[in-house]
Structure formats: C-alpha cells, structure tokens
Amino acid sequence: MKAHPTWLTAGGALALVGLALALPQARAQRDLFVMEPDTAQAELDRATRESWLAEQRAARFAEAAEASTQAAERTAQEAAALAARIQQAEAEIAAARARFSIAQSAREALAARLAQRREPLVRLTGALQTSARRPLALAALQPGSLEDLVHVRAVLETAVPEIRRRTASLRAEIEQGRKLERRASRAIGALEQSERDLEQRRADLAALETRQRLAGREARRNAVREEERALALAEEARDLDGLIDRLDEAAALRRELAALEGPVPRPASLVRGTRAPASEPAEPAASPSPAATGPPRDFRLPVQGRTIAGFGERRESGLASTGITLVPAPGAQVVAPAGGRIAFAGPYRGFGRIVIIEHDGGWTSLVTGLARADVPVGARVIAGSPLGTAENEDPAITVELRREGEPVNPLEHLN
C-alpha cells in the first residue's frame, strides 16, 4: 500500500498549520503595545538615529572630561556624558519596542494567512485519510461501479502533487514564522538589556549629582539667594512671557554691569614719581563677535521623542505655538539645549516645572513640562548637562528659543 505514506504526508499539512497558529506569543511574555507597521518603522528609524547621535555625544563629553584640568569642568562633562548615555539607552529601548512590534505584526499577518488556508486543508486531509483507511479490495465490495472507484482514485492521485506543493509552501511559511518568533525574542532580550543599562546609568548620574552637591555647599548657599530672587520675579510676572521679560531685563542689567570699565590704574610714571607721558588715543571698543550675537552653539532638543506640536502651529486655545512639543518616554532624561546660566528652575503655574536658561547675546531657552528639575538657579551649564526628567504619566516636553524675548523656530538652529 504505497498510498498510505502519501496520505499521511498530506495529512501532516494540517498539523503544520496548527503548529504555526500555536507558535508562542512573545507579547504574552511582555505587555508590549503593537504599533501599525508604518508607525513602527518610522519609530525604529527615529530611535536608531537618536541612539547613534546620543552615543556620539557621550563619546565627545567623555573625551572632554578626560582632557579637562579643572575639577568643575571635568565633573560637568562627566554628567553630560552620563546624561547622553541615558538618552542612548532610552533610544535603544524605543528601537527594541519598534523591532518587536514589526516582528509581531508580521507574525499576526502570517497567522491570518494560515488560518484562511486551514479550512480547505481540513476537508481535503479528512477525505484523504478516510480513503487511506479503506483498502482497494474492500472498496471493490462496496456498492457502486468499479469505474467510479478507479475514477476517484485517479482524481486523488492527480491531487497529490498539488498537495505536496502546498505542503512545501506551508513549511516555508511556518519556518518564516519561527524566524519572526526568534526576531521578536531577540528584540525582547535587547529591550531588557537596555532597561538594565538605563537603570545603571541613572544610578551613576544620581551618585555623581550627590557628589556635586556635597562639593558645592558654598555655591548652593549662593544658589538659594538666586532662587529667592527668581521666585520673587515669578510671583510678580503676570504670565510666562512676563516672567521671561523680567528675567531678560535682569540679564541685560548683569551684562551692562559686567561691561563697565573697572577702576583705572594709576600711571606707572606717577608711581615712580616721574613725569607722565603724553596720553595715547584710546583704543576703540571691540565690536561683539558673531558668536556673542548669534544663536547658542551646539543647540539641540532637550529630550528624545515624537513631535506633536511644531513651531507656529495653532494650539487648542487658538494661539500659535512658540516652541516645539515632544512626547518622550515616561521619566525620560531632559538635558540643557545649550550652554548658559540657569535663570529660573522650579514650578510655574500651568506649565509644571520649568527651566529657563540665559545664553550669550540675548538668547534665552525655555524647557517646560519637567517632573523634576535638578539644577540650581545661577548655575552655569553646558550643552547636554542634565536638567531633570519628564513626567511618568502623559509626558510632554516643550522647548522654546527666544532672541531678545522674541520666539524663534528652534529647528532652524539645531546642530
């Protein structure tokens, strides 16, 4: 009975389909949201790019820390490097989630295709297995024409090549399903590793910030006075624009005071008791350099995430947006968009915790929506210095860039 192996092979197709539909679900291991394939691919591209950029920033900060001879500068560079490593881990987590989502969507599409092919295979396999259990001699004793039996067997024999072809196709698709399962498992492994890296880097940054606070007690006492003055301005300001205007006025006053000439030294001739030489014409005051009036150097977005509101877009209130709003991961690391002086750091009505940074040349940046602000007022920060973290629920970080109080598009000045 050479037909039996053929029927069993064809019947095994049904078992193969059942195996494919019963492949283990990686999503059951991790409660991960599956995005639409196009959205997941866009998220993967964004996260991959941001991970690479964060890694490059971390390497530059680490090199600068090693080359620095001043303890304060070295510590600032180390903190910026750790913040960049945190953002790198956050981006790698987002990339791993996107890879899992892509693999999961492909697996679900494969399962749907196999489910459509399952019903006809069930009927065909049942008929073949029934025929295989009826020997030809016994079938000849059943009522009906022997010609009918021969015709049925001939039809079945012609179906066997098609059954084999479909079985081979099913095997290929099931192997593809196994590959997708392995891809999803690797994505989960990368996700778990990135999460461990993130926790370790956050712990390292917290330890470094603790050492900074212990080493800067005197600076902290000065910062308290700065914070009190900033809070007083915040109470007097009518709104956020008013607060920025008041801070700009204070910054302009500090610049004017810094630009005043110091005490004129006594001529050397008077000190020696000799006659003073003829006076020489005073040198003209140096004009501001382009770096002093241009936008902040190395300006960047303070957090990684998806943009939900661009500069100039209409908000629900009908007013145009004066900045860029990003949706980062919950608790994401927020960094200084550029170097400067912290003019304000703390809660402000309707905006959560905010940080305002004064830059050279009359430029100011504003970061709102923080859950925690870790910088004291009056402190100097470098581009990439840690400012705080985003909210854990419904995070949204907005960054604004202003020139003499007037909002400008931050995207036009990104480096």
Q: What is the pLDDT of residue 263?
A: 44
Q: What is the pLDDT of residue 391?
A: 93
Q: Quick one: tokens of 141?
A: 């004793």
Q: Say whether pTM exceeds 0.75.
A: no
Q: What is the pLDDT of residue 118?
A: 64
Q: What is the pLDDT of residue 366?
A: 92
Q: What is the pLDDT of residue 182?
A: 83
The DSSP output letter for 396 is: -
pLDDT in tens, the chain (415 residues): 444 444 444 445 545 445 444 444 544 455 577 788 889 999 999 999 999 999 999 999 999 999 988 888 888 899 999 999 999 999 999 999 999 989 888 888 887 777 776 666 666 666 666 655 555 554 555 555 556 556 656 666 666 666 666 666 667 777 777 787 888 888 888 888 999 999 999 898 888 887 777 665 555 555 555 666 665 656 656 566 666 666 666 666 555 544 444 444 444 443 444 444 443 444 444 444 444 567 888 899 999 999 998 888 887 777 788 899 999 999 999 999 999 999 888 888 778 889 999 998 889 999 999 998 888 888 889 999 999 999 999 999 999 999 888 899 999 888 7
| CB of 402 closer than 8 Å to CB of 244 | yes
Which is nearest to 58 in space by CA: 37, 79, 40, 43? 79
Residue 238 belongs to what H/E stretch?
none
Q: What is the pLDDT of residue 257?
A: 43
Q: What are phi and psi of 346, to 5 degrees?
A: 160, -175
Instruction: Tell me which long-range contacts 164-172 makes (C-beta under 8 A, separation of at least 24).
Output: 164/9, 164/10, 166/13, 166/117, 166/121, 167/9, 167/10, 167/12, 167/13, 167/16, 170/13, 170/16, 170/17, 170/20, 170/114, 170/117, 171/16
